[in-house]
Amino acid sequence: MPGAVVFRRSLVRFAWLSILAAAATIALKTLAWWLTGSVGLLSDALESFVNLAAAVMTLAMLALAARPPDEDHAYGYSKAEYFSSGFEGMLILVAAAVIAIAAIGRLAAPQQLERLGVGLTATVAASAINFVVARVLARAGARHRSIALEADARHLMADVWTSAGVVVGVAAVGATGWLWLDPLIALAVAAHIVWAGVHLMWRSARGLLDPALSAADRQAIDAVLDEYRGRGIEFHALRTRQAAGRSFVSMHVLVPGAWTVQQGHDMVEEIEARIRRAVDDAAVFTHLEPREDPASYRDVELDGS
């Protein structure tokens, strides 16, 4: 467990990277909006403010998730990451509402756009920063099973695609002179990020319900157990759950009743070690039972003890 705690603490540096990227993109996109007066670019800048707030929340929750277990939280604090991704989803929905309100007002009173070349260049530069950081966070989130980093990466990539659409749309406004196209682009941005916000909030809610490990992880566990089944060891009441970056596995292990306590202990220690190698950072709990005793088979159901 101490090694896992140090491992989770190392993720905080990725949150700082996200904060720095958000600050840089806010400056660039706000400049783009100020130069052009485009409500489409304003919507893009507002989403970057969401990125900053989300990155700060991610930093706080990753730091909390890295805390070691204590008497009040025996299984650790890893679920704190779900609060980060849920908060980010909520902020995205708020940003979508603000963007939609601004776009509707501009649709009623279109405004001439200015200095599009410089403004769009600043937006493209901001998008390049977001793209690079999103790729780094996505790889780190997948490698370390961090939903907070994954959520941040998904949001940044959504921001990249949003910015691409805004740049194309605002450039079209400059080419055609259709001023009504600018607020329509902003409304499209709002609709797009609503989907991203709802998706993040759903993933966070689902994570708090203790879902089972992925199919790949469960197959890896079964592969380990199959080796021991061939040696006459039986298993039941196998249960798994995911808590952000932590994995939990519990099972009952049935061995010959004639074995000594030492033999049974050595066997479950070996099995637990094999599963921890198969599923990174897994906490494994086993319950030893005699294979010949009928009472050992009464707790197969999921609501058994």
Where is mean pLDDT largest: 99-108, 160-169, 239-248, 279-288? 279-288
Is the pLDDT score of 1 beyond 50?
Answer: no
C-alpha–C-alpha distance, residues 245 and 40, integer Å: 37
Tens of pLDDT along 192-238? 778 778 877 887 787 777 788 888 899 999 999 999 998 889 998 89
The number of beta carbons lying within 10 Å of the beta carbon of residue 285 is: 11
Cβ-contact 156, 47 below 8 angstroms: no
C-alpha–C-alpha distance, residues 160 and 265, integer Å: 54
Tens of pLDDT along 240-283? 988 776 789 999 999 999 999 999 999 999 999 999 999 877 88
| SS3 of residue 253 by DSSP | strand
Strands 282-290 and 246-255 turn out to be: parallel
- Average pLDDT value over all residues in the chain: 81
User: Which of these ranges, 12-16, 124-128, 130-134, has the smallest mean pLDDT?
Assistant: 12-16
Cβ-contact 77, 64 below 8 angstroms: yes
Run of H or E residues at 252? strand 246-255
The number of beta carbons lying within 10 Å of the beta carbon of residue 47 is: 31
Decide which of 68 and 127 is more confident: 127
Closest CA to 159 of 48, 59, 52: 48
- Which residues pair with residue 242 across a beta bridge? 247
The predicted model gives 70-74 an average pLDDT of 82
pTM for this entry? 0.61
Tens of pLDDT along 135-146? 998 888 877 777
| SS3 of residue 257 by DSSP | coil
Burial 65-93 (b: 16+ CB within 10 A, else e): bbeeeeeeeeebbbbbbbbbbbbbbbbbb
Ordered structural domains, the chain, with CATH: 2-207 (1.20.1510.10), 215-297 (3.30.70.1350)
- Which residues pair with residue 284 across a beta bridge? 249
Half-sphere exposure of 115 (CA within 13 A, CB side): 12
